[in-house]
Amino acid sequence: MKIIHTSDWHLGHQLYKHDRDDEFEYAIRQLVEIVDMEQPDALVISGDIFDTPSPSTSAQQLYHRSLLLLHEACRSMPIVVIAGNHDGKSFLDVSKDLWQLANVHVIGLLDRKPQLEESDKEEPDKAASDFSLADMARALKAHYNVDKQIIRIPQKGYIVAIPHIYDAGYPQLAGEYEEAAARREHYFQSLLEVVNQENTENFPVVVLAHLALTSGDSGWHDWGSVGGQTTTHQSEFGSQYSYLALGHIHKQQTLMTDGKMARYCGSLIPVSFSETESHSVTIIDLKPGISPVSEDARTQEISQLRPLRTMPDTPRPFKEVLHLIESIDPAEDCYLRLQVSITAESPLPPDAMAQVLRTLEGRKARFCEFKIVAPEKEMVNEPKAIQDPSQLREMTPVQVAQYAQSEVLPEIYKDMFDEVCARLNQGE
């Protein structure tokens, strides 16, 4: 079963208020060409189709055009779409029945059954430890329309689609007082048990999910809690799957746990200057009864219409940076972040943005932000060491914050302060 795995399109995303529809069109045209060439058995999209829960009209139109073009490129190929944490789950579900006409399966929310038959209710005095996996799978089928999450590809395999779910939203399948981690694990494994009971020929099983694995490299994310959700251990999925097709983390990577393969294919286009790696989609051909290895996953690079450029490579004073801008080829179409070093004697001018924009006149480069770097001064630990307010004026905001905290300030806080100061200087 050949699968093309893509994720985190973030349609409608704006980079510092710059519209990016043409970039999305450019990337999706490449994806359509890949589908046309590969003719896969399925295309899976692992969430964050949109950048916001209420996308613009143009973003919605692009979503519709993209799915139709992908369907036309390989009409026999089911397309499976799940909601990510950026998506409006109910918004996606509104048109899911209509999309079935184009062989597109959209899963935004878990489809709970309106009523529960008395015969299917669990015994109220049954302890959680007494529930077997088969018991929980039976409870899951009694409460939810799980068949809508299981896409069967005849004589090829199965795709199990799990939309983004916050911890509090996982079903309780083994009593009323399960902890969130237990509910999550029981849900994953019960859903896969439903497939396992049917999959007598041991066809490949692809699990599609939008979450953060503990073992992963978050790249530019704050790894403590990514996108408002806690991290998940890959082992929570058990062993009854062939390939875990993940979205949510934008840095492409393959993770192996107990011989089971999980992969983040990465975002379709970069959504921040921190996303410096290449962007691609993943292609993998799965065989019955054989667990894939890292080498089985191929990547097809997606070239970018408008790259994100940081210059210079090392921070320099503003006047030097302004002079460097003049060397940019007028025809070079890119987003621009400028690294500027500042000191008390050489601060960022109040009209720095205006000067940059004047220098960029006649060029295609689009200015986005300053990355301000200030040299660290030796800090005092005791509050009484500051005797005069003028001493505070000599400090950078990061140094003032560090002084107030009276301990080493985490690097992520320093970056946040620098970004706030930069935006204030830009008049935002």
- Number of domains the chain is built from: 2
Checking if the pLDDT of 126 tops 90, the result is no
Q: What is the pTM of this model?
A: 0.83
Which amino acid, one-letter code, is at 165? I
Residues 40 and 164 occupy one common structural domain: yes
Mean pLDDT, residues 317-322: 95
Residues 258 and 320 occupy one common structural domain: no
Residues 112 and 194 occupy one common structural domain: yes
Residues 273 and 365 occupy one common structural domain: no
Residues 381 and 282 occupy one common structural domain: no
Neighbouring residues of 2: CB distance < 8 A, sequence distance ≥ 6: 38, 39, 40, 41, 42, 283, 284, 285, 286
pLDDT tens column, 284-309: 999 999 999 999 999 999 999 999 99
CB 232 within 8 A of CB 31: no
Residues 22 and 101 occupy one common structural domain: yes
Domain end position, chosen among 270, 301, 332: 301
Residue 78, SS3?
Answer: coil
CB 49 within 8 A of CB 81: yes
More confident residue, 347 or 66: 66
Residues 373 and 419 occupy one common structural domain: yes
Domain end position, chosen among 283, 301, 319: 301
What domain range includes position 172? 2-301
Closest-CA residue to 13 (of 77, 66, 75, 63) = 63
Lowest-confidence region among 49-58, 165-174, 399-408? 399-408
Residues 223 and 291 occupy one common structural domain: yes
pLDDT tens column, 196-216: 999 999 999 999 999 999 988
Residues 245 and 385 occupy one common structural domain: no
Domain end position, chosen among 301, 316, 343: 301
pLDDT band at 114 (very low <50, low <70, confident <90, very high): confident
Residues 91 and 214 occupy one common structural domain: yes
pLDDT at 393: 54
